[in-house]
Amino acid sequence: MFTWLNKQGVKSDRGFIVQRTGRFTAEYRDKGKVITLDVEDGTTLNGEPCIIVGPDVFEHWDGEIARISADDQVQMFQNLREAEEFQGLKLAIERGVEPNERGMLPPRLVRDGE
């Protein structure tokens, strides 16, 4: 269950907080630690409003070098998805794409429901 903190932030009854901090940033807070997330507003392939994040946003806590375990990252993505859905948004994970032969990236591709 979630509680609104303000217009752009929610807190879970499990203790984590997701707070939008700028046009392209949000924070994921849990147990006294913070991860600053690079986010973009977008729409899913089904036309639903979403936020878009990279697949590596939960690699480490801000200010720490140690990598977060894969299992913990999966849980953090699930937590973020639930927080965004509470706010009426979907979560889209950006696919890693390689530049084409001219060195240009193709248009951004996201998958619904990742």
Structural domain boundaries in the chain: 2-94
Lowest-confidence region among 13-22, 75-84, 104-113? 104-113
Residue 60 burial (10 A CB sphere; 0-12, 13-18, 19+): middle
**Could you give the 3-state DSSP secondary structure of residue 32?**
coil
- 48-106 tens-digit pLDDT: 899 999 999 999 999 999 999 999 999 999 999 999 999 999 998 887 554 444 444 44
Q: Give this prediction's pTM.
A: 0.81
Can you say whether the dihedral through the CA atoms of 90, 22, 19, 73 is positive or negative?
A: positive
Residue 101 pLDDT: 47
- Give the span between the Cα atoms of 112 and 81, in whole angstroms: 12
